[in-house]
Structure 1
Amino acid sequence: MIEVVDRIALTIRADNDNPFLQGPFTPNANEYTADTDSLQVIGEIPKDLHGIYVRNTHNQVHEPLGIYHPFDGDGMLHAVHFENGRATYRNRLVRTTGYLAEKGAGHSLWPGLLQPHLASRRGWGAIGAMKDNAGTDVICHAGKLIASMSQGSEPWRLDPRTLETLGPDANWARKVPEGVSSHYKVDPETGEMMFFNYPEKWPYMHYGVVDRHNQLVHYVPIELPGARWPHDQGITKHYTILHDLPLYFDPVKLKTGEHDLVFNRDQAARFGVIPRHGDSSQVRWFEAKPCFILHLSNCYEDGDEVVMDGCIMPDFKKIPVSADMNVYDRILANLDKHHNKTLMHRWRFNLKTGQTTEQYLDDEVTEFPVCSNDCVGRPYRYSYNVLYKPGDWLFAGLKRFDLLTGAAQRYEYGEGRYGSEPQVARRLGAKAEDDGYVVVMVADMRQNRSEVLVLDAADVARGPLATIVLPERMCVGTHACWVEGDRIDGEHRDPAALA
């Protein structure tokens, strides 16, 4: 069965020359429901693979208001539900308030990330001017998906099976007026979800905890020296690690409404270790070398130390807006991780001595590191990272790190094939951390199609065990999540499966 559920009226002009609206980034207009009775399957889908792979995508619907940045597009989720050797695919736009308003108007009403000064309506995000596009992150908690944008937005809930938009979380969205940033984390043992936001006004950050029953049980201000621009957070069994990094808008210019992002090379990076249900007075701040961090792999406790692994950007370089080059080339130069190198790194924060130690774990450019959900906040061994196409904002493959032995494996998708964030899907009854699969969505520009690949998590270099060909080529996307079969309806993870 392949069913076109809805056709979206795209209004992007045919002569729009923005490369982030063309080629691999071409938005999709069709919403599908399709299953493997009709979709081509190459290989065999493992029968012990049970759960839902969900990927978020910036899928712009209307001709942009101002310069379009690839983080501006409307959120569209792509989901593949695996069970008993079969799979069902769906893709749906997140029906945010902004999307519905622009659908009614028939054109864009909000500017994007690069030109917030064009805003004439109440907006979202740390800048306070963007459309709440819900296009960055996605995770499942308490039986429902949450989609959001990285700068902060409403916590948009969706049904994990149907992808129906249910609206901002009915239990607690109104209690967090600054919204939620992307990269909320779920503890696999307690079912609690930790989140943060970072408004441009005092206290410049808030931190919250939602319990396994989807009740907001903790929400406190975190006082920072000024407006910041963090992107991720980490959790361990007892702590959360908050980021205060030296990349943020120039505070003098910000007073006049100008958003000039500056990397302050002489300012230390700070990491706040806070008890899970602690407040601003209980944060222990640790200093480290200046850097920016987009994404963490995992964090855990090791004796007196809190360990944080992620991809460090040690020397952020920004191509200035005034540079004498094409605006799209500037966007690409700022996104190119071979220009702003991101390397696997480890920080150790000693709670007894207050000291920070750090080390590089690899010298190859990788990003979007992930581990199994069952290991989040606990000691772990394997991280699966994205490999970049040099000079571009496209994912060319993935790299598997064995953090115990230092060994690594890689799988590259091939010429003209670009992936998304991978996810680890442990098999039913798994015992070992890597006893299962890695699932990823790939756009093949040569064959003009998209595929979902299922790889062996213990041997990614082997290549796909199964390839599912989707109804059409889907716009490339970034963040994804894996929803274990026993978590689809709530936080009911089998304790025997945890690390």
Structure 2
Amino acid sequence: MKILEKNTIKHTLRRSIHPYLNGAWKPNYTEYTATDMEVIGTIPSDIDGVYLRNTENQLHEPIGYYHPFDGDGMLHAMSFKDGKAEYRNRFIRTKGFEEEQKLGKSIWTGFANDPKKSKRPGWGAQEHLKDSSSTDVVVHAGKVLSTFWQCGDGYRLDPYTLEQYGAENWVPAEGISAHPKVDINTGEMLFFNYSKKAPYQHYGVVDKDNNLVHYTPIPLPGPRLPHDMAFTKNYSILIDLPFFWDPEKLKKNQHVPTYYGDTLPTRFAIFPRYGSAEDVMWFEADPTYVLHWMNAYEDGDEIVLDGYFQDNPDPAPMKGLPKLVGKFMAGLDQRSFKSKLHRWRFNLKTGEVTEKHLDDKILEFGTFNQHYAGVKSRYLYSTWSKPGWFLFSGIVKHDLETGESWSLPFGKKRYGSEAPFVPRIGATSEDDGYLVSFITDMKENRSECILVDAQDIEAGPVCQIILPHRICSGTHAAWADGPSIRAYSETSSDE
């Protein structure tokens, strides 16, 4: 292994028994650039692009109770070309990161605490949090965009070098939510945000050249907590879920615990991609909460949408813990909220909604071939988690046409990431390619990047690339094709 760069960031975090500051969630402080890493197996020569994962790595002693989503964002990138791989990881230099590094301590408290504990005004829908940009990562207009789970600035980086360009300049005052959606077939990026102020939600479109070209309110009845959105070729889909801040507690500026209105419907706003509030068709379905949506597509007069329906959106606190702590721990555990792959169908002519579980297994954090985003797709790759933990233990591949599924456990004490689909160069079918994931192996005390043949996931990894350090677990990941990234770079240099 060649270490080309190694840089340790100053930190003040003390030893802790906190479950999300230890083990597979132990924060990283050192940034690396590495090549010629040890490889078990052979790196395929028929892929070209970059795999990116966002993680939370708390640098300073937290103010109040720590939740893993409060941690400072760190991106990990593994680039592939011609059968070779290169690894980098970098903290995202957010405004909050820079200010806390200057002082050498935390300035903002986490979302589970009294807002008054933050020493300065913050970001996000709660308005007192640090935008750590540690939640999602997408690639749009040739650059990385990292995001924060409760609305933030959005930060741009180079997908290969992780060179940082700072906060995105087109982002509205209300910020952007955790999950903007990139339509790689048009180059557009769709996003939404939410806040505690009327109209409570906005929606926007950014074109292929990274210009904000559409921004409009899509009003909600009050402050809500949507997390994700979906799109088809012609429509965007936003969701009003019956899970939000408790209205009475919010009057006192208290954001926890949240409120679940199990007698309220889940409402879906479906409207043209460049539409406004006047164009919205509202649909009502069974009450639930959904963290993540998968693909959506148009099927005659209907729109089909897949996602992870929670059978128990308001789980009881985990036993043996203080009530509030137990509540947050349950909110991180798939087996507590019981998320299951689910399908909704919306008839645009009649207004009828039908829905059903596609699988009774507890699953979440899925991916699919992004070249099929917005049109009918056949395959979906979900993860399951370790009971009681926010740690991914394996992958399930679903064939949505036949109903078949196949599983790949990561192994004992091995925890992975979301596994984006990587198209093979010259791919001839939807699942002709690989799944890629970072694995943290607690038995071997190391991390590795694995590639799995998407057409035969039960065969296990075709290669394991050993990283220079054991990385902290985290949230979301993405794959971006090399030719499309380079095409944007060439266009920019011509200008």
- CA–CA distance in structure 2, aligned partners of residues 120 and 323 of structure 1: 32
> What does residue 141 of structure 1 align with?
140
> What does residue 495 of structure 1 align with?
none
- CA–CA distance in structure 2, aligned partners of residues 413 and 489 of structure 1: 33
The answer to whether the 8 A contact 2:317-2:328 is kept is no
> What does residue 159 of structure 2 align with?
160
Asked if 1:484 is matched to 2:485, the reply is no
> What does residue 429 of structure 2 align with?
432
Aligned with residue 399 of structure 1, among 396, 401, 422:
396
- CA–CA distance in structure 2, aligned partners of residues 225 and 327 of structure 1: 27
1:123 is displaced (CA, Å) by 0.8
Kindly report which structure 2 residues correspond to 1:95-494, keeping only aligned pairs within 5 A, or say none.
95-117=93-115, 118-170=117-169, 172-173=170-171, 176-259=172-255, 260-319=257-316, 325=322, 328-489=325-486
1:4 is displaced (CA, Å) by 3.6
> What does residue 23 of structure 2 align with?
23
Three-state SS of the structure 2 residue aligned to 1:82 is strand
1:155 is displaced (CA, Å) by 1.6
**One-letter code of the match for 1:413?**
F
**One-letter code of the match for 1:93?**
F
- CA–CA distance in structure 2, aligned partners of residues 249 and 19 of structure 1: 26
1:406 is displaced (CA, Å) by 0.5
Q: 209-218 or 244-253, which moves further after superposition?
A: 244-253
**One-letter code of the match for 1:19?**
P
> What does residue 83 of structure 1 align with?
81
> What does residue 497 of structure 1 align with?
none
Three-state SS of the structure 2 residue aligned to 1:409 is strand
1:477 is displaced (CA, Å) by 1.5
Cα deviations by residue, 1:278-312 (Å, 9 ceiling, x for unpaired) = 00111111000000000112111111111110111
**One-letter code of the match for 2:73?**
G
Cα deviations by residue, 1:73-98 (Å, 9 ceiling, x for unpaired) = 00000000000000000000000000
**One-letter code of the match for 2:301?**
D
**One-letter code of the match for 2:146?**
A
Cα deviations by residue, 1:44-100 (Å, 9 ceiling, x for unpaired) = 011011100000001111111111001000000000000000000000000000000
Aligned with residue 72 of structure 1, among 65, 70, 73:
70
Three-state SS of the structure 2 residue aligned to 1:71 is helix
- CA–CA distance in structure 2, aligned partners of residues 236 and 425 of structure 1: 21
1:314 is displaced (CA, Å) by 2.8
- CA–CA distance in structure 1, aligned partners of residues 325 and 486 of structure 2: 43
Q: 246-255 or 416-425, which moves further after superposition?
A: 246-255
| TM-score, normalisation: structure 2 | 0.96
Q: 261-270 or 158-167, which moves further after superposition?
A: 158-167
The answer to whether the 8 A contact 1:144-1:489 is kept is no
The answer to whether the 8 A contact 1:240-1:275 is kept is yes
- CA–CA distance in structure 1, aligned partners of residues 407 and 8 of structure 2: 38
- CA–CA distance in structure 2, aligned partners of residues 414 and 326 of structure 1: 32
Three-state SS of the structure 2 residue aligned to 1:406 is coil
Aligned with residue 56 of structure 1, among 48, 54, 58:
54
Relative to structure 1, the CA distance from residue 45 to residue 486 in structure 2 (aligned partners, 3 Å threshold; closer, same or farther) is same
Cα deviations by residue, 1:376-420 (Å, 9 ceiling, x for unpaired) = 111000000011112221110000000011110110011100011
Unpaired segments ≥5 residues, structure 1: 493-499
The answer to whether the 8 A contact 2:317-2:324 is kept is no
Cα deviations by residue, 1:216-271 (Å, 9 ceiling, x for unpaired) = 00000111100000111001000010010000011222122122411100000001
**One-letter code of the match for 1:140?**
V
1:323 is displaced (CA, Å) by 9.5
**One-letter code of the match for 2:28?**
N
> What does residue 496 of structure 1 align with?
none
The answer to whether the 8 A contact 1:416-1:445 is kept is yes
**Count, aligned residues:** 486
1:335 is displaced (CA, Å) by 1.2
The answer to whether the 8 A contact 1:300-1:379 is kept is yes
Relative to structure 1, the CA distance from residue 320 to residue 392 in structure 2 (aligned partners, 3 Å threshold; closer, same or farther) is closer
**One-letter code of the match for 1:270?**
R
- CA–CA distance in structure 1, aligned partners of residues 441 and 317 of structure 2: 33
**One-letter code of the match for 2:384?**
L
- CA–CA distance in structure 1, aligned partners of residues 178 and 480 of structure 2: 17
- CA–CA distance in structure 2, aligned partners of residues 195 and 255 of structure 1: 28
- Matched residues, percent identical? 48
